[in-house]
Every structure is written in C-alpha cells, then in structure tokens.
Amino acid sequence: MYNYFKFFMASVCLIVFLFGCSDSEEETLNENTNSVTIPLEIYKKVYGVTSEITISGSYVYINTNGVPDHKSPYFKDTKWHDAKYEAYDPTNPNVFHTGNFNLNPNRVSELSISFKIPNSPSRSSRNNPTSMGPIGVSLNGVPFYNQYAGMNEPLTREVNSFDNYNGHPAPLSPGGENGSGGRYHYHMEPFWLTTNASKDALLGFLLDGFPVYGPEEEGKTISSSDLDSYHGHTHATKDFVSGIYHYHTTADAPYINGSGYYGSPGTVSQ
C-alpha cells in the first residue's frame, strides 16, 4: 500500500513537472522567436543620420533629413542640382513602371525626421495597420512608405514617377500620402541600397523595430507567397544568427509590408 502511494505521488509530481515544464518552454520559445534586443552596432548600419543613433530606455532614436545619398531627377533646380541631379535613364532595367517615366511636380527637400523605434521588437497580439507617411527608415535615412498612394489606393499610377532608384518625393497636395511636400521615400525595394550592398542585405527597420531585408535569401528570390500576411517570416539572418522576425522587399505587391506591423510600432515625428 505504501509503495502504491509512493508511486501515485511520484506520478503526480511527474505530471506537474511535465506540464509545468512544457508551459514555460513554450513561453521561452515564443520569446526567442519573436523578441530580440537589437544591439547598437546593427542600428549603426543606418548611415544616413543627422545625429548619433542612441538607445534610451526601450527605444532606439534615429534622426535623418530624408535626403537620399544618390542622384535623382527630383534634385532638378534644387540647391543640390549640380551635385545630385541626374536625368531619368529609361534603359534602367530595375523599373516597375507601367508606362513612361513621369516626373512628378515635387522636388527633394530637407526635413527633420525623428524615428523612435522599439529596441526589443516583439510580436503584437493586435493588428497594427501602417498609416500614410513614414513606416520605417532605410539605411540611407530615406523613409519607407507602405503599398498605398492614398487610402487603400494602389500605386498603379504613382509607380511611373519612381526614379532609377525606386523613390520619389511626396506630392504637394495635402491629401496625397498625408504629405508634407518633398519628402522623398521608397514604397518598394531601394535599388541604391541593394545595388551597393547586395540583394540579400539588411536595408533598414520598420517602425515596430523589425528589420527589412532585400528580395533575395540564400540565392533564392523571395516573393510575397514565401511570406506571411505582414510580409515577413522568422529565421536566422547574417546579422541575427539566433533568428529574428524580418520583412523582405519583393517585386510583387505589397512590396515591403503587408497587412500592418507584426509588432507594435514606435513613432515618427517630422
């Protein structure tokens, strides 16, 4: 009888141990998969900054002026004209245009953009849609924008105004892209960065803190069908060997981000 009791108690302990254990393992796994604290030296790959990048509390602070470090037809007649104006090159193979290049009436202007981004991005339990205006920062300090030209309006016409590096300045009309005129931005793969680094390079961060990579990975071209509805997935990358959730730019819509942020977004002021 005593032995049966001992056996019974041992079984109870074992069950409690197993269940207790599997619960906590699940939590750790979720944390490992979805929350990573990003070290300062990785943020320092963002070179287009106007002040030193700092981490304070649970945020990283990145300030840029939004002026691209590459040439563009959108420098025409600006103070940078002589150094940075370049006519559109129609032989550029890297275009998404559906018609001829259409120079929009805006020009690049110098801004003061402050990104406040979670330093330990983690998956959000709620849906956090992107808004018009900057949704992230690319390595050269130019903001990323979402897949829309206006409220749920696709980029169909706008795409023809993208320059050789796939960017353009926001329209002057206050309705379009919520937009302060002259804010240069990328809705799609920033060709300057992927050409200078590589198609599988780190390109920047979205406001929720998760990194954005180019359209290739281990020699394979990524398309939206390889990614989840937010336009990302989790695995190890060159910069994050333990694995991290990350977005990819793709040639097919929605290009950078899908149905909102995977994590909780920080803020941007300009």
Positions touching Zn ion (CB under 5 A) are: 217
- Our CB check for Zn ion shows the closer of 217 and 228 to be 217
Whose Cβ is closer to Zn ion: residue 61's or residue 139's?
139
Q: Which residue is nearest to Zn ion (CB)?
A: 217
User: Shortest Cβ distance from residue 166 to Zn ion (Å)?
Assistant: 10
Q: Which is nearer to Zn ion, 43 or 245 (CB)?
A: 245
- The one-letter amino acid code at 104 reads N
Q: How far is the CB of 45 from Zn ion (least distance, A)?
A: 17
Choice between 35 and 53, CB closer to Zn ion:
35
Beta carbons of 168 and 158 less than 8 angstroms apart: yes
Counting Cβ atoms within 10 Å, is residue 128 exposed (0-12), middle (13-18) or buried (19+)?
Answer: middle
Nearest distance in Å: CB 9, Zn ion: 49
Q: Smallest gap, in angstroms, from Cβ of residue 10 to Zn ion?
A: 46
Closest by Cα among 88, 60, 83 to 73: 88
Among 148, 134, 144, 156, which residue's Cα sits nearest to residue 176? 148
| Smallest separation (angstroms) from Zn ion to the CB of 171 | 8
Alpha helices in 64-134, H assignment, sequence order: 81-84
The answer to whether the CB of 73 falls within 8 A of the CB of 40 is no
Closer by beta carbon to Zn ion, 61 or else 183:
183
Q: Is residue 149 within 8 Å of residue 155, measured between CB atoms?
A: yes
